[in-house]
Amino acid sequence: MPLPLDHIRTFHAVAEHGSLLAASRQLGLTQPTAGRHIDLLEEALGLSLFTRGREGMRLTPKGSDLLAAASEMMATATEFERVAAGLEERIEGTVRISANEIFGTLLLPGILAPFISDHPEIEVELDVSNEASNLLQRDADIAIRLFRPEQNDLVARKIADLPFGLFAHESYLARRAPPNTPEDLRHHVLVGQDRNMGLINAYSAAGLTLAPSDFGFRCDNDVAEINAVRAGIGIGPLHAGMAANWPGIIRVLPDVPVSPLELWLACHADVRHNKRIRVVMDFLAEKLKTPYSSSLL
């Protein structure tokens, strides 16, 4: 009797995550169901695949021997799903979009509202995370990224270069004289990142060497950083188009170069001809060229 693919998928997920709970969450199963899959698979094979302990589920030597084969099966199943999705002619269905915190919370809901109203047959799932979703594993159908995707199996479209600058709220500048040189920023409250070094590197490229301690307000959440500038806490980098729509936000040191970010849309090559994904991708490509109108923010 053939082994159920669902049981092998559960085995692969438990081996990957090391626990029934984590595997069940990934697969959308209850923990008892995931445990039953493992029990039934072990019974059908006549093998013990895991040892159970306080540290979680650990592969036995025989379980380790089977993991490579299970990984190949899951890769084949994923490829089958991608190809099947690419062959779909129906427009209705679900499209999962991955975006970072700024796009996912501040922009996409406003951009997508008229699309969802005009296309009730398409269900939109929005994955908001600064982690890059794995399009190869179908974590998302479409990804909005601020870097050029390099994987050969992805189809990517550059949408725009996003201009950035340094900004502060007028309430902050009423308390502190605006800086005249990059070096003057050392005497201001700077809004920056906590553990992420990307912003420090950007300041370095502009000729100002900073350490994390030079930032009076630090947070690795992009939306919190934006709101800190808007609340008048201090000076920080903002997208120039977005900042233009926020009352009281003023650009400082406009002559200091701040590198723009590239905006890309990407999907897996297998699904680029899927009608509903193409419809959503074309819509986003058009709207994201000029998404910073006051009606969206």
Each domain of the chain, given as residue ranges in start order, spans 5-87, 93-162+261-296, 164-252
Residue 174 contacts by C-beta under 8 Å, 6 or more apart in sequence? none
- 193 Cα distance to chain centroid: 18
Q: Which residues pair with 109 in a beta bridge?
A: none
Which class does domain 93-162+261-296 fall in? alpha beta
pLDDT of residue 87: 56
Q: Which residues pair with 166 in a beta bridge?
A: 237, 252
pTM: 0.64
pLDDT tens for each residue of the chain, 297 residues long: 678 888 999 999 999 999 998 888 888 889 999 999 999 999 999 999 999 887 789 999 999 999 989 988 888 887 777 666 665 556 788 899 999 999 999 899 999 999 999 999 999 999 998 776 666 566 788 999 988 887 767 889 999 998 988 999 999 999 999 999 988 998 999 998 888 777 777 777 667 788 888 899 999 888 999 999 999 999 998 998 889 989 999 999 998 878 888 999 998 887 767 888 889 999 999 999 864 543 344
CA angle 26, 30, 32 (to 5 degrees): 125
CATH code, residues 5-87: 1.10.10.10
Phi, psi of 146 (to 5 degrees): -100, 30
How far is residue 215's CA from residue 192's CA, in Å, rounded to a whole number?
Answer: 6
How far is residue 135's CA from residue 249's CA, in Å, rounded to a whole number?
Answer: 37
How far is residue 284's CA from residue 92's CA, in Å, rounded to a whole number?
Answer: 17
Equal fold, 5-87 vs 93-162+261-296: no
- Helices 20-27/31-45 angle, 10° precision: 110
SS3 call for 217? strand
- Helices 5-17/20-27 angle, 10° precision: 130
Residue 56 contacts by C-beta under 8 Å, 6 or more apart in sequence? 18, 19
How far is residue 85's CA from residue 96's CA, in Å, rounded to a whole number?
Answer: 13
Q: Does the domain at residues 164-252 carry the CATH identifier 3.40.190.10?
A: yes
SS3 call for 148? coil
